[in-house]
Amino acid sequence: MIAPRWRKALRDLSERPLRTALAVGAMAAGVFGVGMILTSWSILTRELKTTYSDTRPASAILVLDGSDVSDALVDAVRHMPGVRDAEARPVIGGRLRVGPDQWVPLTLFVVHDFRDVRLDRFTADAGANAPAKDEVLIERSSLSVARSAIGDRVIVRTSDGNERALRIAGTVHAAGLAPGWMEHGVTGFVSARSVLRTGARAESAQLRILVAGDRLDERHIREVASRVSDSLAASGRKVTRVEVPTPGRHPHAAQMDTFLLLLGTFGALTFALSAVLVANMIHALLTEQVRQAGVMKTLGASTRQIAALYLGQVLLLALAALAIGIPLGLMAGRAYAAFCASMLNATIRDATPPFWIFASEAAAGILIPLLVALGPVVHASRISIHEAFSNDAGRRPFGTRAFDRWLARRAWLSRPLMLSLRATFHRRGRLVLTVATLAVGGGAFIAALNVSAAWTRTLAADAAARRFDVQAVFPRPYPIGDVARALGSVPDVVHAEYWTEAGASMANPAVVGEPRVSLTGPPLDSKLLVLPLIAGRWLKPGDRDVAVINQSVASRDPSLRVGGDIPLRVNGTVVRWRIVGLVKELAPHAAVYAPSQTILRATGQSPDRTRSARIVTRRHDVAGQVAASKAIERALESSGIDVSGIQALSDARKSFSDHLVIIKSALMFAALLVVLVGGLGLTTTLTLNVFERTREIGILSAIGATPRTIAGDVLFEGLVIAGLSWVAAVLVAIPITFALDAATGQMFIQSPLDFFLSPAAVAAWLLLVLVLAALSSFIPARRSARLAVREALAYE
């Protein structure tokens, strides 16, 4: 038989099903939020890591002079000291036709033996496992970019101008590659006997190696790679370039990091939110119990017995919340992890979160409510019987604080409204908790939308900085006169510029691996590029041997300063240019801008030839840019100019915004979660506030207030709380936004985003809290107002 006091504990909960449901709901929402974030976070970090490492990513890629790498050479490299494994993987560059005069970039890897892929592995996804000589396997995430299906024949034009039709024999999944839909390019795999290889002018001979020893040590990898280069040189094969991908890092690791950071931050915020919410809830539940605690004391209950009684109730609520929150959080977390994995071209093979997730959810879901309940429980159980029986148990009477007296003098408000306001401010502890709950929730919501808006603005600013519509790139330099004549024949073309372009590497010995940078020399009076400056100035007429670097260059070599020099290795020789400016660019590639003459002198290129054209078209909208691209393609082709790529700026912009999808999804997801938890919080606290005022409502009815006036008053109180919380939410959002702008910007584009307080986010939250406040105070208020006066006065 259960002791009467425990029966009281149980029945108190079952007698007020709505209130109990609200309390359990609020706690469950917290458990759900935290559980969902922890689940997706833990699954993703584990699965992304293993999917990537399971591909056996190459430590280094050696680009060799000449054509294919023979099996004998690969075998020799495999036996070199420090080399664990090696594989020849020549790369064919080109384009794939997706429509009349419309092409997308294509990268094809030549695989010597599809049954023995040793490095940068991929797995069969659908269709054939190995392509015949006129077939290709497409990486699954780029099939949509190719606008084709398995079995289709596609036209491929290699960079030497050869055109071939290939049949798509199947798809593969290469988890180590960035998703094609995000890159706006197609990746495929062909066999060594592919028809594309005849002539092989478009092919770059590449040898991939995996080092023995520490595979994550970049210096070690470079040492091994340079030893391999030396011995290849000794045997007559020159290595023109060594690429070392950041060891252990997926190409989109920055996206993942940013995304996981956001997930973690909002997880912590949801956690804080649910803790405050639970505190508020328990505070409300116990306020009602103060008098009963007093009665129990007169019956001989000790402080400990009363505390145990209420903590027992909290424990029951917490257990119920866990029972609901854990499975829901698990389901949602798995679904979200699957979505994110698809964004990163990864597969989740094991969707079981580690056990510690459940353990910590359970621990937090039980401990947090008990901890936050401790204060109010101790207060309720230690209160003296005398206090418990006095009317406004445990509160300082209204009028004992300066603020109350100030409020009491505001005679311009109608009397019932005044009563609401005073009631609101009288329950100060509750008010603070309610406002805090909503401020955390609203702050997180607004911050999520702010950061999302900051990314959109960064994207827009970067797009606005590039004032051309189409960029054409050629596989070899062509005479500028020829290109200009071809473009001049296209009516859509308004203006074209031919910038000097070259490659170089950073020559500061302190920087590991001499990272590659692009050199770009726009005409000094060009109006087509107006990049936002972080420091210094842009290039101006009369400049010589100066450079403007982007933040990506600066982040690779922290010693670079405006006013200092940047050492660059151009065609084997080191040049030093004075840095006059630092600009912000969205694309994470390292770029150095210098006067065209300066670049020409360093590279020895001819000033009359160009490898690219930046074109302003008549129309600047997407359709206009696409139409112009097609016309330009035709014009160049008929003039005998090979094109390795034509990109409308709108497409480049789309590609970049596709890279942000996962970050924005994390932010939207966080905002939704916070709305869910915060909204529930608002609803529960306001509803409980009204429950607490039932007796007061009875008095008001007794002295003639109509249900309408009462409901109006309570509504007003709800709106005042909502308004206050909104102001607090905006204030809370500011530091969160700053921190996330800085962190996500730094991770993704090596530069903090510009702070932006989104008016839409601020307005949306105001609307949301007002609507929720109205609903959650009006409904219980109407109920209270309809209670008979006697019932209301007797309400315990």
Partner 1 sequence: MISLQGLSKTYDTPAGAFLALRNIDLQIDAGDFVAIVGRSGSGKSTLLNMVGGIDHPSSGSLTVGGAAIQSLTHNQLALWRGRTVGFIFQFFQLLPTLTVAENVMLPMDFCGTRPARERHPRAMELLERVALADQANKLPSALSGGQQQRVAIARALANDPPIILADEPTGNLDTESSVAMFALFAELAAEGKTLLVVTHDREAAQSVSRTVTIVDGCVA
Tell me if 122 sits within 8 A of 239, measured CB to CB.
Answer: no
Q: Is 392 in the site for partner 1 (CB under 8 A)?
A: no
* Binder of partner 1 out of 70, 305, 571, 606 (CB under 8 A): 305
The one segment of 85-93, 134-142, 295-303, 683-691 that binds partner 1 by CB under 8 A: 295-303
Alpha-carbon distances of 686 from 32, 159, 272, 490, 793, rounded to whole Å: 22, 67, 19, 67, 20
Positions in 489-508 near partner 1 (CB under 8 A): none
Q: Which residues contact 786 (CB under 8 A, 6 or more apart)?
A: 707
Going by their DSSP bridges, the two strands 163-173 and 123-127 should be labelled as antiparallel
Q: Which of 337, 342, 63 is nearest to 208 (CA)?
A: 63
Structural tokens at position 24: 């359990």
Q: Is 297 in the site for partner 1 (CB under 8 A)?
A: yes
- Of the pair 350, 796, the CB lying nearest partner 1 is at 796
- Of the pair 21, 739, the CB lying nearest partner 1 is at 21
Tell me if 595 sits within 8 A of 544, measured CB to CB.
Answer: yes
Q: Is 121 in the site for partner 1 (CB under 8 A)?
A: no
The one segment of 235-243, 395-403, 445-453, 742-750 that binds partner 1 by CB under 8 A: 395-403
Q: Is 790 in the site for partner 1 (CB under 8 A)?
A: no
Minimum Å gap between C-beta 306 and partner 1 is: 9
Q: Is 300 in the site for partner 1 (CB under 8 A)?
A: yes
* Binder of partner 1 out of 240, 302, 573, 638 (CB under 8 A): 302
What are the contacts of 197-200 at 24+ separation with CB within 8 A? Answer: 197/68, 197/92, 197/110, 199/160, 199/162, 200/67, 200/68
The one segment of 188-196, 297-305, 360-368, 622-630 that binds partner 1 by CB under 8 A: 297-305
**d(C-alpha 242, C-alpha 62), whole Å:** 5
* Binder of partner 1 out of 72, 234, 299, 510 (CB under 8 A): 299
Q: Is 391 in the site for partner 1 (CB under 8 A)?
A: no
Minimum Å gap between C-beta 410 and partner 1 is: 20
Positions in 506-535 near partner 1 (CB under 8 A): none
* Binder of partner 1 out of 151, 199, 354, 397 (CB under 8 A): 397
Q: Is 348 in the site for partner 1 (CB under 8 A)?
A: no
Dihedral sign for Cα atoms in the order 550, 176, 454, 754: negative
* Stated length of the chain: 796
Q: Is 556 in the site for partner 1 (CB under 8 A)?
A: no
Q: Is 301 in the site for partner 1 (CB under 8 A)?
A: yes
CA angle, residues 647, 587, 579, in degrees to nearest 5: 115
H or E stretch including 667?
helix 661-692
- Of the pair 551, 694, the CB lying nearest partner 1 is at 694
**d(C-alpha 601, C-alpha 513), whole Å:** 25
Structural tokens at position 505: 């590497």
- Of the pair 295, 460, the CB lying nearest partner 1 is at 295
Going by their DSSP bridges, the two strands 516-521 and 591-593 should be labelled as parallel
For the chain, the 3-state helix, strand and coil shares in percent, each to the nearest 5, are 55, 20, 25
Minimum Å gap between C-beta 782 and partner 1 is: 23
Tell me if 307 sits within 8 A of 378, measured CB to CB.
Answer: yes
- Of the pair 378, 480, the CB lying nearest partner 1 is at 378
Going by their DSSP bridges, the two strands 470-479 and 645-648 should be labelled as antiparallel
* Binder of partner 1 out of 66, 264, 327, 399 (CB under 8 A): 399
- Of the pair 292, 518, the CB lying nearest partner 1 is at 292
Q: Which of 279, 285, 281 is nearest to 16 (CA)?
A: 285
- Taking CB under 8 A as the rule, which mask of x and - marks residues 235-254 in contact with partner 1? --------------------
Minimum Å gap between C-beta 367 and partner 1 is: 26
CA angle, residues 626, 630, 631, in degrees to nearest 5: 115
Minimum Å gap between C-beta 408 and partner 1 is: 13
Coil, helix or strand at residue 438? helix
- Of the pair 144, 292, the CB lying nearest partner 1 is at 292
H or E stretch including 310?
helix 303-343
**d(C-alpha 491, C-alpha 494), whole Å:** 8
The three-state DSSP-derived secondary structure of 475-487 is: EEEEEHHHHHHHH
* Binder of partner 1 out of 115, 304, 409, 415 (CB under 8 A): 304
Q: Is 703 in the site for partner 1 (CB under 8 A)?
A: no
Tell me if 473 sits within 8 A of 518, measured CB to CB.
Answer: no
**d(C-alpha 202, C-alpha 154), whole Å:** 18
- Taking CB under 8 A as the rule, which mask of x and - marks residues 1-40 in contact with partner 1? x-xxx-xx--xx--x-------------------------
Identity at 383, one-letter amino acid code: I
Q: Is 288 in the site for partner 1 (CB under 8 A)?
A: no
- Of the pair 12, 492, the CB lying nearest partner 1 is at 12
Structural tokens at position 344: 């990163």
Minimum Å gap between C-beta 283 and partner 1 is: 20
The one segment of 244-252, 298-306, 415-423, 500-508 that binds partner 1 by CB under 8 A: 298-306
* Binder of partner 1 out of 295, 367, 623, 731 (CB under 8 A): 295
Q: Which residues contact 42 (CB under 8 A, 6 or more apart)?
A: 353, 354, 357
Burial class (CB in 10 A: 0-12, 13-18, 19+), 84: middle
- Of the pair 297, 584, the CB lying nearest partner 1 is at 297
Q: Is 350 in the site for partner 1 (CB under 8 A)?
A: no
CB-CB neighbours of 485 under 10 Å: 13
Minimum Å gap between C-beta 302 and partner 1 is: 5
Q: Is 228 in the site for partner 1 (CB under 8 A)?
A: no
- Of the pair 11, 589, the CB lying nearest partner 1 is at 11
- Of the pair 399, 604, the CB lying nearest partner 1 is at 399
Minimum Å gap between C-beta 1 and partner 1 is: 7
* Binder of partner 1 out of 38, 182, 276, 296 (CB under 8 A): 296
- Of the pair 9, 373, the CB lying nearest partner 1 is at 9
**d(C-alpha 729, C-alpha 703), whole Å:** 38
549: left (phi over 0), alpha (psi -120 to 50) or beta: beta
Minimum Å gap between C-beta 254 and partner 1 is: 57
Minimum Å gap between C-beta 19 and partner 1 is: 13
**d(C-alpha 483, C-alpha 473), whole Å:** 11
Count, residues near partner 1 per rule CB under 8 A: 31
- Of the pair 17, 542, the CB lying nearest partner 1 is at 17
Q: Which of 723, 707, 711, 710 is nearest to 773 (CA)?
A: 723
Minimum Å gap between C-beta 12 and partner 1 is: 5
CB-CB neighbours of 198 under 10 Å: 9
Q: Is 303 in the site for partner 1 (CB under 8 A)?
A: yes
- Of the pair 538, 795, the CB lying nearest partner 1 is at 795
Minimum Å gap between C-beta 296 and partner 1 is: 7
CA angle, residues 454, 457, 462, in degrees to nearest 5: 125
Q: Is 298 in the site for partner 1 (CB under 8 A)?
A: yes
228: left (phi over 0), alpha (psi -120 to 50) or beta: alpha
Positions in 367-386 near partner 1 (CB under 8 A): 382, 384-386
Which residues contact partner 1 (rule: CB under 8 A)? 1, 3-5, 7-8, 11-12, 15, 291-292, 295-305, 382, 384-386, 389, 397, 399-400, 796
